[in-house]
């Protein structure tokens, strides 16, 4: 059975999140997206955890609510000195709430966790991993959005140049990395040191809407859905079919730049300027593509022997918004989106499998972009310094009649 899993998202108790980030909305829109498994997010927050314990049922190795499966997950922010100030986000997966309670008891000895869904602590990555392994070897710790400038393990502003430098003697317990919106597996394959780590993809969503939740996901093939099977697949790559990615140019930190100055630059352009903003004279925010180029020891296009493949997609609502010219959260976009869902069942089926002739019965222009997305033909204006990338329809053949 093929299933789609988004294991990294947040609750309404995290900063800058939608008040609809609750179990009911996550389940509703997760099913609409085509997801089977969601991370709960934010299990460190006392109020959210109480809510989770009240609403989720546990059966046969996994939690459920209505049609959705859930596994306990949270994100930890670590800020500490190691040569320079390091700011690292880690995704944490736990098998059950009993284990979660033990994790939280340990965290309570280090500081508060009631003020935000993603709490900040001052201990190091090796200390955290060692403590988690002493609680349970079934806990999975994954460096989150590994390349983002400020909070990724390889981030240009506060990250490391290698996993060994970050995790030291605890690296043996790290099995996977999260690609993040601004990188995809193809970019990560350029570092030979990452070959033995599974590349996972998740949305890190702050809202439950279909253009956010599941925009990146992992696709497994199981006869039975359970936490144990998901963790085994992440650790061994068995039954791990592929990941769903957005084009990395669509991410908020792909190119170098300055949002305040409205400056976006490719790595080559930045290097010519000594990485200095031509408008304000301050250092540029170095994006993911530039950072990958700094650390890569392989040419672009290299594919490791046992790599898990991926499929690059743009969320359906983003496509509809681009074609119609209406905003993502408008009724016009939602009405068209709902019509597709009523016809085909869920978004992943629409984006990946639905036949052209049947899609065209709903909307020919949108179908054109859906197929272009499948074939990797969509053009993106790269995101930079916190600004999302944008679809460039005028450069896509066949769209002259309605752009």
Q: Which residues of 117-130 are buried (b: 16+ CB within 10 A; e: fewer)?
A: bbbebeebbbbbbe
Residues facing 243 on adjacent strands = 218, 310
| Residue 64 pLDDT | 98
Q: Which residues contact 310 (CB under 8 A, 6 or more apart)?
A: 184, 185, 186, 199, 201, 242, 243, 244, 245
pLDDT of residue 400: 43
Is the pLDDT at 80 greater than 50, yes or no?
Answer: yes
Tokens of residue 105, six digits: 């008891």
Give the CATH fold of the 2-249 domain: TIM Barrel (3.20.20)
Mean pLDDT of 92-100: 98
Question: Average pLDDT, whole number, for the chain?
Answer: 95
* C-alpha span between 220 and 209 (Å, rounded): 23
Share above pLDDT 90 across residues of the chain, in percent, rounded to a whole number: 95
- For the chain, which residues make up each domain, given as ranges? 2-249, 315-377
Q: Give backbone dihedrals phi and psi of 216, rounded to 5 degrees, phi first.
A: -130, 140
9-29 pLDDT, tens per residue? 999 999 999 999 999 999 999
What would the pLDDT profile of 219-258 be if each residue is shown by its tens digit?
999 999 999 999 999 999 999 999 999 999 999 999 999 9
Q: How confident is the model at residue 391 (pLDDT cuts 50, 70, 90)?
A: confident
Q: What average pLDDT does the segment 302-331 reach?
A: 95
* pLDDT of 65 higher than 90: yes
Q: What is the per-residue pLDDT for 394?
A: 64
| Report field, pTM of the whole predicted structure over 0.85 | yes
What was the pLDDT predicted at 28?
98
Residue 392's pLDDT is what?
86
**Tens digits of residue pLDDT in 324-344:** 999 999 999 999 999 999 999
Pairing between strand 68-71 and 62-65? antiparallel
Cα separations in angstroms, 295 against 188, 189, 196, 351: 10, 11, 17, 33
Tell whether the model's pLDDT for residue 347 goes beyond 90.
yes
Residues 397 and 403: their CA atoms lie apart, in Å, by: 11
Q: Decide if pLDDT at 195 tops 80.
A: yes
Map the chain to HEC letters: CEEEEECCECCCCCCCCCCCCCHHHHHHHHHHHCCCEEECCCCCCHHHHHHHHHHCEEECCEEEECCEEEECEEEEEEEEEECEEEEEEEEEECCCHHHHHHHHHHHHCCCCCCCCCCCEECCCHHHHHHHHHHHCCCCEEEECCCCCCCCCCCCCCCCCCCHHHHHHHHHHHCCEEECCCCCCHHHHCCCHHHCCCEEECCCCECCCCCCCCCCCEEEEECCCCCHHHHHHHHHHCCCEEEEEECCHHHCCCCEEEECCCCEEECHHHHHHCCCECCCCCCECECCHHHHHHHHCCCCCCCCCCCCCEEEECCCHHHHHHHHHCCCCCCHHHHHHHHHHHHHHCCHHHHHHCCCHHHHHCCCHHHHHHHHHHHCCCCCEECCECCECCEECHHHCCCCCCCC
Average pLDDT over residues 353-381: 95
Bridge partner residues of 177 (DSSP):
199
- Kindly indicate the confidence band of residue 1, based on its pLDDT and cuts at 50, 70 and 90: confident
Task: State yes or no: pLDDT of 395 exceeds 70.
Answer: no
């Amino acid at each position: 059975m093929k299933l789609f899993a988004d294991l990294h998202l947040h609750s309404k108790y995290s900063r800058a999140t939608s008040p609809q980030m609750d179990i009911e909305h996550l389940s509703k829109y997760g099913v609409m997206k085509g997801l089977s498994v969601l991370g709960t997010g934010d299990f460190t927050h006392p109020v959210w955890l109480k809510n989770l314990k009240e609403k989720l049922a546990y059966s046969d190795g996994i939690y459920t609510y209505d049609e959705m499966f859930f596994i306990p997950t949270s994100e930890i922010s670590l800020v500490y000195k190691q040569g320079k100030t390091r700011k690292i986000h880690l995704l944490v997966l736990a098998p059950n709430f009993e284990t979660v309670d033990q994790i939280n008891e340990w965290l309570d000895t280090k500081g508060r966790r009631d003020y935000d869904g993603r709490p900040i602590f001052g201990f190091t990555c090796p200390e955290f991993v060692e403590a988690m392994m002493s609680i349970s070897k079934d806990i999975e710790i994954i460096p989150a959005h590994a390349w983002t400038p400020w909070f990724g393990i390889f981030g240009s502003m506060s990250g490391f140049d290698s996993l060994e430098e970050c995790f030291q003697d605890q690296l043996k317990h790290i099995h996977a990395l999260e690609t993040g919106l601004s990188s995809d597996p193809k970019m990560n394959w350029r570092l030979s040191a990452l070959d033995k780590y599974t590349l996972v993809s998740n949305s890190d969503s702050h809202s439950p809407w279909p253009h956010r939740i599941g925009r990146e996901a992992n696709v497994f093939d199981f006869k039975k859905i359970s936490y144990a099977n998901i963790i085994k697949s992440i650790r061994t790559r068995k039954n791990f079919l592929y990941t769903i990615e957005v084009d990395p140019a669509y991410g908020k930190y792909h190119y170098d730049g300055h949002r305040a100055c409205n400056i976006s630059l490719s790595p080559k352009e930045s290097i010519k300027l000594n990485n200095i903003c031509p408008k304000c004279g301050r250092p540029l925010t170095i994006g993911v593509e530039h950072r990958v180029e700094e650390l890569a020891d392989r040419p672009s296009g290299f594919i490791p022997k046992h790599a898990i493949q991926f499929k690059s997609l743009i969320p359906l609502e983003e496509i509809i918004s681009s074609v119609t010219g209406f905003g993502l959260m408008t009724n016009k976009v939602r009405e068209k989106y709902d019509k597709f869902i009523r016809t085909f069942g869920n978004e992943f089926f629409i984006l990946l499998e639905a036949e052209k002739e049947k899609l065209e019965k709903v909307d020919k222009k949108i179908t054109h972009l859906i197929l272009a997305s499948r074939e990797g033909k969509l053009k993106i204006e790269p995101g930079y310094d916190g600004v999302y990338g944008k679809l460039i329809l005028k450069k896509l053949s066949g769209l002259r009649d309605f752009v």
